[in-house]
Homo-oligomer: A and B are copies of this chain.
Amino acid sequence: MAPRKKNAPDAATTSSPVSMADLARELNVSMTTISRALSDHFSIGPAMKQKVLKLAKKYNYQPNHMASALRKGKSKLLGIVVPYIEGRFFPSVVHGIETAASKAGYNVIICQSNEDVAQERRNLDSLLSAQVAGVLVSLSRTTLDHKHFDKLRSRGLPLVYFDRVVEGDNVNTVVLDDREGGYLSTRHLLAQGCRRVAHFAGPQHLNIYRNRRQGYFDALREAGLPEDESMVIYTDMLQEQGAAGLRQLLALPNPPDAIFSAGDYCALGAMQEARRQGLRVPEDLAIAGFSNEAFTVVTEPNITTVDQRCEEMGQAAVRLLLEVIDSKGESFTPRQVALRPELLVRGSSLRPALAPVAKKMAASRAKTVG
């Protein structure tokens, strides 16, 4: 062990961190007093409190969270496990999480599963070892069973899933209300005067895509329109598939006058293909996507889409997690939160003739439906 020189003028370059013991020695009081003064304990007189605080500032005292956590058995660390930190969605959610967590005095450890269950398992072990106070997870695509999360539960570690969640009512989850998103989007297209609205659906084993499709059908039914499976194209939400999908739709005896795509990339592909086919967007074909990708405000026209409230999702997840953490002892009844999506009406779906009116309607709708 390196010899530590206490109470000695520090070496030229590096100095050891100041501990409570150092402050205690300096003031000729006990560590207890220091500890209490710093944590604003009622049993310490204001005079002493001031003295301690002043000295702490002078010596630039930083509490050692590890020691505190070790002693208390509770750290001020939250763990995040996401598939990856790229694209638009996850970074924004992480942004929201970090903001909310730091506001509550927590630091955040971030892990990526890279869409790999094995990695996800290791992430959990890693967070366990780091003694986090709770964990926020968005499942990897390859996660089929969730036994590895029992390890957390058996340790009594609070857990909240977001976006890609375990379904059930005994888990804490925060998701976007995808059904509502699909519903709002489709209803908007119908309000534009479109009568044959097609749908680009995503993989139906993922609940987000199932729900968006459900919202689409709900809006059709509400408008008294039939559910026509020939108008639904199943894709993996890739750009090229949007182009191919549109070609397929145009070959129908009765082609669509609008498309609600469950993803922006697919919508983009369709819009580009429409141009190649000589169709005007939105006059001949109205298009709406999903996710509010950055490029949707760069295309000509801009693409109507649904915002996923990434940041709110992060904040809601943290709020829920902290509730569970703070309720330690009493048994907390798991809760499932669904966030309102926001429809963003843009040029790709706004029929010029109806524009002034429709814009207003759409705007008020997007707000009031929430």
Interface residues of A (CB under 8 A from B): 10, 13-15, 17, 60, 62-67, 69-70, 75, 77, 84-88, 90-92, 94-95, 98-99, 102, 107-112, 125-131, 151, 153-156, 268, 272, 293-295, 298-300
Contact = CB atoms under 8 A, between A and B. Distances in A.
A289 to B, nearest CB: 12
A98 B112 contact: yes
Given A107-B109, A272-B300, A298-B268, A15 B154 contact: yes
Contact of A75 (B66, B107, B154): B66
A246 B129 CA distance: 56
A49 to B, nearest CB: 20
Given A86-B95, A154-B14, A295-B298, A64 B131 contact: yes
A56 to B, nearest CB: 12
Given A94-B85, A111-B98, A129 B64 contact: yes
A99 B112 contact: yes
B110 A110 contact: yes
5 contacts: A65-B129, A102-B111, A102-B112, A102-B126, A298-B299
B112 A110 contact: no
Given A63-B129, A86-B92, A272-B300, A110 B111 contact: no
A85 B98 contact: yes
A130 B299 contact: no
Contacts of A87: 91
Contacts of A155: 14-15, 17
A133 to B, nearest CB: 12
A69 to B, nearest CB: 5
The quantity of this chain's copies bound in the complex is 2
B14 A65 contact: no
B131 A65 contact: yes
A26 to B, nearest CB: 18
A65 B130 CA distance: 5
Given A60-B151, A70-B64, A86-B91, A130 B107 contact: yes
Contacts of A298: 268, 295, 298-299
A194 B126 CA distance: 55
A92 to B, nearest CB: 6
Contacts of A293: 294
Contact of A62 (B84, B109, B128): B128
B91 A85 contact: yes
Nearest to A125: B62
Contacts of A107: 109, 111, 126-127, 130
A131 B19 CA distance: 13
Given A111-B107, A155-B17, A156-B13, A62 B98 contact: no
Contacts of A64: 70, 129, 131
Nearest to A151: B60
A75 B319 CA distance: 28
Among A14, A17, A66, A153, max chain B CB count under 10 A is at A66
Among A14, A17, A298, max chain B CB count under 10 A is at A298
Given A15-B154, A155-B14, A66 B60 contact: no
A98 B62 CA distance: 26
Given A77-B109, A85-B91, A102-B112, 9 more contacts: A13-B153, A17-B128, A63-B129, A67-B70, A86-B91, A91-B91, A98-B112, A108-B110, A299-B299
